Structure 1
Amino acid sequence: MLPVSTRLTRTCAAVLQAGPNFLRTPAMKVDADAILFSAKSFAAAMLAYYLSLRIGLPKPFWAIVTVYIVSQTSAGASFSRGVYRFAGTFIGAIATVAIVPNFVNDPIVCSVILAGWIGLCLFFSLLDRTPRAYAFVLAGYTASLIGFPGVLDPSAIFDTASLRVQEISIGILCAVLIHRYVLPKPMTGHFTGRLSATLQDARRLAGDALTGTPEENRKDRHQLAVDLLTLQGLATHLPYDPASVTPRRGTLQLIHDRLARLLPLTAEIEDRVHFLGMGDGDTADDLTTLVGDVRAWIATTEADDGETAATRLIGRARSVQKHLGTDAATLGDSVGANLAGHLAEMIGLLHDCDRLRQSMNASWRPRKTASLHGPKRARGYVYHRDPWMAARAALGCIVGILSGCAFWIWSAWPEGGTAVSILGVCCTLFGSFDAPVPFVVKYIVGSIYGVLISLVYSFAILPQVTNFAVLVAVLAPAFLLAGSLQARLPTTFMAMGITLTIPILSGLGTNYTGDFAACLNTVIALFAAVGFGAVSMSLFQTVPVHVAINRLLHLSRRDVGRRALGGAPNEARWTSLMIDRTALLLPRLRASGKTCANVLDDTLRHLRIGYVAGQLRKTIPQTKGEAGAATGDLLSAITVYFSVRSPTTPADFIDLDQRIETLMAMMMDSSYKSRSRVFDLLIDLRFALGSGGTVKGGASGS
C-alpha cells in the first residue's frame, strides 16, 4: 500500500488536473455566462436608477425595468434590442399623445382606437418575423402602458409620455454601454462558430447522400432547415456587434443560397443513387467511380488544393453527364446523366461555401463572385409570412383588450386603467406564440416571487436604508439571482416576472413611500390583468398545433400550384421560403406528438416539385409545338393536383405519372434544342413526385 503522503499528493494532482477541464464543461460555461450577464445587467440597472434620480425623473424604476428588458447575453443583441426598443417607445408615445386627448371624452371610442393600435402593431410584428419586430411590439404596449392609465388625467398625457421616453432612454443607454464596453461578449464569434458547424453538417449530409440511404439523413436535412433559420436570426444582430470585423451581409446571403439549394439537392441525389443501386459498390463504371471520388473529396478535401480538386471533379461530372446523355440507350442512362449533373452542381455549391466562409473576414467584393460556381446574385433568407394568421392574432388581441376595457368602464374600478394597460402588454408581448398561455403562466409564477420579494423590501428592508450605496447592496441578492435566471432559456419568462415586478412594487422612486394600500391595489391589478390575459389569449389568440401545421401544409400545396402556373418565378426565393416553412413545422410537429418525418418529407417534396415546375414553365417558349402544349397541360394538371379545392385521388397521381411518361417519350424522339434540359427536368419531376420506381420499370423495358 502506498504511503498516505503519496496518495494525498496524487489526489491533489488529479484534482488540479481535472479542475480546468471541469471549468471548461458546457454546464460551467453556461453558469459563468449567466453570472456575468446578471452582474452586468445589475450594474446597468443601478447606473440607470442613479442617473434618473440625479436628473429628477418622477418614476426612475422604469429605467431599471428597461435595462432588464433590453439586456441580452451578447453585446450586439443588446445594442440592436435597445435601438428597436427606443424606436418602438418613441412611436408608441407619439401615437398615445395623438389618440388619448382627442377621444378621452368618449371612453368607449378611445378604448377601441387604443386597442386597434395595439392590435395593428402586433399584426406588423407577426408579419416581420425578424428581431426588428420588437419595435412594433414596443410601439403597441407603450401605448397601452401610457394610454389607458392616462385616460383618468388626459391633460398630463404629453408630460407622461415625454417622461416615459426619457426614463426608458436612460435605461437603454446604460444597458447598451455596460454590455458593449464592460467585458463584452461579441456575437460574431458565436455566429461564425455556428456557421462553421452548419457547413460541416452540410458536407456530411452531402457525403451521406451518396450512400443512397435517405432514411438515415432525414433528421440531418430537417435540422439543416432549422439551422438556417437560427443563423438568420443571429445575423440580424451582426451590424450592431462590437467586433472589429463582422461578416459581410452579401457574403452571408450567398452562403445561405447555396445551403438552401443543397438541402433539396441532397434528396435528389439520394433518390438517384438508391434507384441506380450504386450504394452497394457492385458496379465499376465511370459514374460509380465518380460517385466514390466525390465522396472521398467531401471527406478529405483541404483548403489549399480544394479548388483544383473541385474544378477537376466538376469537369469529370459534366463529361460523364454529356457522355451518358448523348449515348443514352436506356432511360437508366438518362437517370445516370441526370445524377452526374446534380453531382457537378453539389460540388460547386460545397466549394463555393468553403471559399465564401474563408473570405468572410477578408476584403471580399461583389466582383469576386465571378469565380463562384453557383448563382452570383444573392437572394438571402426569405421568411414565411401569413397575413391571415397575423390578422387572427391581432383580432384576438383587440377582443381581449376590449373585454378588459368593458369590465373597467362598467365597474368603474379605480385601478382598471392600470390593469388594462398590463393586459395590453401581455396580449402584445406573448402574442407571437401559437400557445401563449404556458409562457404567461411562467410569468405569473415569477410575478408571485416578485411580489413576495417586493413586500419584504418595501416594508422590512427599504425603511432602514439611508443612502444609495446601501440600497445597491440590499437590492443585489434579488436582482443578481433573477438576472442569472433570465440568462437561461427555460427560466427567462419567470425571471422577467421577478425583475419587472420588484422595481415597481418596491417603490423605487425618488423617495420612499411605503403605502401598503397602493401596493396591494397594484398587486391586485397585476394578477387580475395577467390572469384575465391568460384566459383571453387561450380563447382568442391560441392557435391549436394541428391548425398551424395544416395551415403551413395548405400554403405549401397552394404555392406549388402557383409555381406550376408561372407564379413566384425566382427559384432561390421559392427554395428559401419552403425551407423556412420546414423550420416552422419541426417544433410544431414535436409539440403535437406526431411523427415528424413524413410531414417534413412532404414539405421538402413540395419544394422539389415547385422548383422543377417553375423551371419547366420557363422552357415552354423554347419547346413550342406539340411538346410545348403537352408541357403546359402537365403543369396545369399539377396545379389541379395540388389545389386544396380539388381533393386528389390515386387516379390523379397515376394521370400525372402517365403525362410525364408520355412527354418523356415525345422529348426522346424530338430535335428541340431544349430537349436534354426538358428531359432532365422531367426526370427530376418524376422523382420529386415519388414515382422514381416507375422510372426504373421504364428503364428496364427500354
Structure 2
Amino acid sequence: MTTANRDRWKLTIAGFSIPAWGFAVRMWLAMMTALYAAFWLQLDSASSAAATVGILAQPTRGEAYQRAMYRVLATGIGVIASFVIAGLAPQNRELFTIGFAAWLGLCVYVAGLLDGGRAYGAVLSGYTVALVAVTQIDSPQNVFLTGVNRGAAIVVGVAALALVSDIFGAPSLHSSLSAKLAATHQRVRAFALAILDGESGEPIRSANLLREITALRPDIEALGAESSDGLARRAAARSAAVALVSEVSAVGSLASLPATKLSSLRRELGEALADGLEEQSPALQLRLQHAQLDLPEPHGALFVRYVLELLVEDRKAKDAMEALQAGRHPAHCINAPIYRSRRAAVRNGLRAFLAVLISAALFSLGGWPSASLGVVLVGVIIALSANTANPGGLAAAAVVAMSIAVLLAGVTEFLILDGVDQFPLLAIGMAPSVLAAALLCTTSNARLVLIAFLALVFFPVMLSPTNPQQYDPASYLSSSLIAIVSVILLFVLLRTVLPTSDALRRHWYLKSAQAELRALLGGGCSRRLDDEALFRDADRIGQLAALKPAPGDARRDDLRQALDIFGCAAAVRRVRTTSARLSARAGEHLIGNAYSALAARDPRGIRQAAADLASAATAFGDDDRVVARAASLDLIWVAFLIDTTAFGLDSHRSNTS
C-alpha cells in the first residue's frame, strides 16, 4: 500500500475512520435493500428482513456469511419446531407455553456445548418458535403462513447483505485473521525469549496467551464460508492455532526447569528466536536430536526435549500461517476442538426454561394486552445471552439498547417521517439511526459495541416498517412499554434465577480438569490426537483466565493449578502415544510397568519404568531409540510434576517415593 493510500485510511470523519464509515454505509444499504425487496414481495414481516441485516452486521465477509448460513438453516429448524409445538397444543395456552419453554431450554443447552456460528444457530432455532408460533398463540391456524413469511424475509435479508458486501468489497476475514495470528506468534516468541533469559513463568501470562489463541477459533471456523478457498484457509488457520498452543506448552515446560541448565544453549536458542529462526532452525534441530540421546542428566535432556519441541512447533505455526495467506491446505490438517462445561450448559438451559415460564405467568397475571410480545422478547434475549460469557451484562445492555431503540423509532416515525409513505423518504429517515449504531459497532469499547449492536437489531423491530407505513401512536406506546418491561424483567430474572458465578465456573473447570487427568493416568484413552486434546485443554484454561480471580488470590492459583494439569496431561498423552509405538519392541512388561506406575501416581515407580525403558532402548534401532528416549523423558517429567505439584486429585499416593 502506498503512503498516500495509508494516509487516506487514517482520515476520519466525525471521529470515525474511512473503513468504519464504509461498514456503516454497507449496513444501511443492505438494510434498505432488504426492506425494499420485502415490500416488493409483499411479505408480512418486512422488519424481519431489516433485523436480519442488523444481526448479520459483521465487519468481514467470512463472519457475515457464516452467520447467514446458520441463520437460514436454523430458521428452517425453528419453523418446523413451531409447526410441531402448535400442532401438539392447538387450543391449550399453558401446554403450548411449556412446550416452547422446553424447546428453548433444549436449544440453549445445545448452544452451551458449541461456539461461534453453530451456537448462534442453536439459539436461533429456539427463539424462532417465539417469533413464529408464540406471536400467533391465539390463532394457531396462522402459524404456517407466519413461518413461511419469516423464512422468506430472512432469505431476503441474507441475499441483500451478500449482494451489498460483494458489490462494495467488504473486508475479507482471512487478512485480519492472518494479522492476529502473526501478532500472537510474535508474543509467543517473546514469552519464550523471556523464559530463556531466566524470567519466571507467571501463570497469568501463559494463560492469557492460551486464551488469546483459542479465542480465535470462531473466526477460524468462519473462514470456511468466506470464499472458494475458505476450507483450505480454515484448515491452515486451525493448524497454526494448534501449533501455537503446543509452542506455549513447550515454553511452559521450559519455565518449570532450572534456569541454570545448559546456559550456552539458552543463549544460542534466544539468538535464533530473535532472528526469526530462518536459517538456524534445521541445523539447530539436528544438534538437539543428537543431544537428547547423549545427555545423561534428566533435567538437561528434558530441557533439550522441550527446546526441540519449541522449534518444531514454531516451524509448524509459521508454515501454516503461510498456507493461510496463500489459500492452500497445510501440510498436516488437524482439528481444534473446544471445551464446554456440560454443567454450565444444563444450567443455562434450565434458566431459559424457567425464565420463559415465569415471564409468561407474570404477563398473564398482569393482564397485559400484548403478553405474547413480552414472552417473545424474553425468549429471544435470554437465548442470545446464552452465547455470552456474561449474560447479566448482556441483559443490562439490552435494557439500555431497547430504550434507545424505542426512542429512535418514535423520533423516526413521528418526527422525521411524520406521515410520508414514499420508500426513499423512509430510507433517508432511517439512515441517521442505522449509521450511528453501525459506526459505534466499530469502536474499541466492548460495552458500547454490544449496546450499539443490540440497538441496530432492535431499531427496525420497534419501527416495524410496513407498506404503507402505519402511524398509530397507541400501538407504538403499547409495544414500546411491553418491550422495555420485558428487558427489565429479563434483567431481574438473569440475576435471580440460577445465576452462575465466576467462583462456581472456576470450580467446574478445575474439577473437570482433575477428573480428566485422573482418567488419563488410570489408562483412559482419548479419541483425539495429542495436539487436538492439548488445544481443548488450552480452551478450558482460556475460559478460566477470563473469569475474575478469587478474592485475595492475586497470584491466580487457579491458573497455576490448571496449567500444571495441562502440562501433566500433555506429557501423559505423549507417553501413551510413544509407548503404543514401542510395545512390540520394548516388551509388554516394560510398557505395562509404566502404565501401572502412572495409574498408581507413584513417582518412584514411574522413574523406575523410565530407567528400564532407557536401558532396553540401547538394543533398538536409531528411530526406535529416539522414540524410547522421548517416552523415558516424558515419564521422568510426569514423575517430576507429580512430586512438585498439587493437582487436587483424590487418590492414594505411594509412600515409598
TM-score after normalising by structure 1 = 0.82
Name the counterpart of 2:284.
313
Instruction: Quickly say closer, same or farther: Cα 1:102–1:213, change in 2 above 3 A.
Output: same
Instruction: Quickly say closer, same or farther: Cα 1:554–1:465, change in 2 above 3 A.
Output: same
Deviations 1:286-309 (A, max 9, x none): x54333322222112464xx2xx3
Q: Which 5+ residue runs of structure 2 have no aligned equivalent?
A: 620-624, 646-657
Name the counterpart of 1:46.
32
Structure 1 residue 584 displacement after superposition:
0.5
The aligned amino acid for 1:57 is: L
In the aligned structure 1, how far is the partner of 2:17 from the partner of 2:555?
33
Name the counterpart of 1:475.
430
Q: Give me the CA root mean square deviation.
A: 3.1
The aligned amino acid for 2:172 is: P
Name the counterpart of 2:334.
379
Name the counterpart of 1:688.
641
The aligned amino acid for 1:210 is: L
1:542 aligns to what SS in structure 2? coil
In the aligned structure 1, how far is the partner of 2:132 from the partner of 2:282?
63
Sequence identity (%): 20
In the aligned structure 1, how far is the partner of 2:498 from the partner of 2:388?
9
Name the counterpart of 1:602.
561
1:432 aligns to what SS in structure 2? coil
Structure 1 residue 383 displacement after superposition:
0.3
Deviations 1:563-599 (A, max 9, x none): 1122244422321111011111111135978436432
In the aligned structure 2, how far is the partner of 1:224 from the partner of 1:26?
33
Instruction: Quickly say closer, same or farther: Cα 1:578–1:61, change in 2 above 3 A.
Output: same
Structure 1 residue 507 displacement after superposition:
4.4
Name the counterpart of 2:265.
290
The aligned amino acid for 2:269 is: V
Deviations 1:131-183 (A, max 9, x none): 22211111111111121121111111111111111122211211222123213
Contact 1:92–1:139 (8 Å) recurs in 2: yes
Name the counterpart of 2:315.
351
Q: Is the counterpart of residue 322 in structure 1 residue 285 in structure 2? A: no
Name the counterpart of 2:540.
581
Name the counterpart of 1:60.
46
Contact 2:604–2:639 (8 Å) recurs in 1: no
Structure 1 residue 483 displacement after superposition:
1.9
1:414 aligns to what SS in structure 2? coil
Name the counterpart of 2:298.
334
Give 1:230-629 correspondences, 5 Å limit: 230-242=215-227, 248-274=233-259, 277-278=260-261, 287-301=262-276, 303=278, 306=279, 309-325=280-296, 333-362=297-326, 369=331, 376=332, 378-488=333-443, 489-569=446-526, 570-589=529-548, 594-595=553-554, 597-617=556-576, 619=579
Instruction: Quickly say closer, same or farther: Cα 1:452–1:235, change in 2 above 3 A.
Output: same
In the aligned structure 2, how far is the partner of 1:26 from the partner of 1:207?
38
Name the counterpart of 1:138.
124
In the aligned structure 1, how far is the partner of 2:629 from the partner of 2:610?
10
In the aligned structure 1, how far is the partner of 2:117 from the partner of 2:252?
32
Name the counterpart of 2:100.
114
Contact 2:341–2:508 (8 Å) recurs in 1: no
Structure 1 residue 20 displacement after superposition:
7.4
2:125 aligns to what SS in structure 1? helix
In the aligned structure 1, how far is the partner of 2:135 from the partner of 2:323?
54
Instruction: Quickly say closer, same or farther: Cα 1:252–1:473, change in 2 above 3 A.
Output: closer
Q: 1:94 aligns with which of 72, 75, 80?
A: 80
In the aligned structure 2, how far is the partner of 1:316 from the partner of 1:115?
63
In the aligned structure 1, how far is the partner of 2:315 from the partner of 2:5?
41
Deviations 1:34-84 (A, max 9, x none): 322211111111111112222222332222111111121112211111111
In the aligned structure 2, how far is the partner of 1:314 from the partner of 1:466?
73
Structure 1 residue 659 displacement after superposition:
4.7
Structure 1 residue 560 displacement after superposition:
0.6
Instruction: Quickly say closer, same or farther: Cα 1:450–1:118, change in 2 above 3 A.
Output: same
Name the counterpart of 2:649.
none
Instruction: Quickly say closer, same or farther: Cα 1:464–1:564, change in 2 above 3 A.
Output: same
The aligned amino acid for 2:285 is: I
1:248 aligns to what SS in structure 2? helix
In the aligned structure 1, how far is the partner of 2:277 from the partner of 2:607?
43
Instruction: Quickly say closer, same or farther: Cα 1:595–1:380, change in 2 above 3 A.
Output: farther
Which protein is bigger by CA-based radius of gyration? 1
Instruction: Quickly say closer, same or farther: Cα 1:22–1:311, change in 2 above 3 A.
Output: same
Name the counterpart of 1:3.
none
The aligned amino acid for 2:170 is: P
In the aligned structure 2, how far is the partner of 1:671 from the partner of 1:350?
29
Name the counterpart of 2:651.
none
Instruction: Quickly say closer, same or farther: Cα 1:29–1:413, change in 2 above 3 A.
Output: closer
In the aligned structure 1, how far is the partner of 2:313 from the partner of 2:304?
14
The aligned amino acid for 1:350 is: D
The aligned amino acid for 1:317 is: L
The aligned amino acid for 1:343 is: V
In the aligned structure 1, how far is the partner of 2:508 from the partner of 2:134?
35
Contact 1:435–1:544 (8 Å) recurs in 2: no
In the aligned structure 2, how far is the partner of 1:502 from the partner of 1:668?
69
Q: 1:200 aligns with which of 182, 186, 197?
A: 186
Structure 1 residue 617 displacement after superposition:
4.7
Deviations 1:459-513 (A, max 9, x none): 3332342522222222222221122123333323322443334334334211232
Instruction: Quickly say closer, same or farther: Cα 1:74–1:590, change in 2 above 3 A.
Output: farther
In the aligned structure 1, how far is the partner of 2:327 from the partner of 2:178?
17
Structure 1 residue 358 displacement after superposition:
2.9
Contact 2:232–2:329 (8 Å) recurs in 1: no
The aligned amino acid for 1:256 is: A
Bigger Cα displacement from structure 2, 661-670 vs 549-558: 661-670
Contact 1:92–1:140 (8 Å) recurs in 2: yes
Instruction: Quickly say closer, same or farther: Cα 1:178–1:362, change in 2 above 3 A.
Output: closer
Q: Which 5+ residue runs of structure 1 have no aligned equivalent?
A: 1-16, 279-286, 326-332, 370-375, 639-655, 693-702
Bigger Cα displacement from structure 2, 309-318 vs 431-440: 431-440
Instruction: Quickly say closer, same or farther: Cα 1:189–1:593, change in 2 above 3 A.
Output: farther
Name the counterpart of 1:651.
none
Q: 1:124 aligns with which of 91, 110, 115?
A: 110
Instruction: Quickly say closer, same or farther: Cα 1:365–1:93, change in 2 above 3 A.
Output: closer
Instruction: Quickly say closer, same or farther: Cα 1:199–1:690, change in 2 above 3 A.
Output: farther
Aligned length: 628
1:689 aligns to what SS in structure 2? helix
In the aligned structure 2, how far is the partner of 1:440 from the partner of 1:535?
9
Contact 2:221–2:234 (8 Å) recurs in 1: no
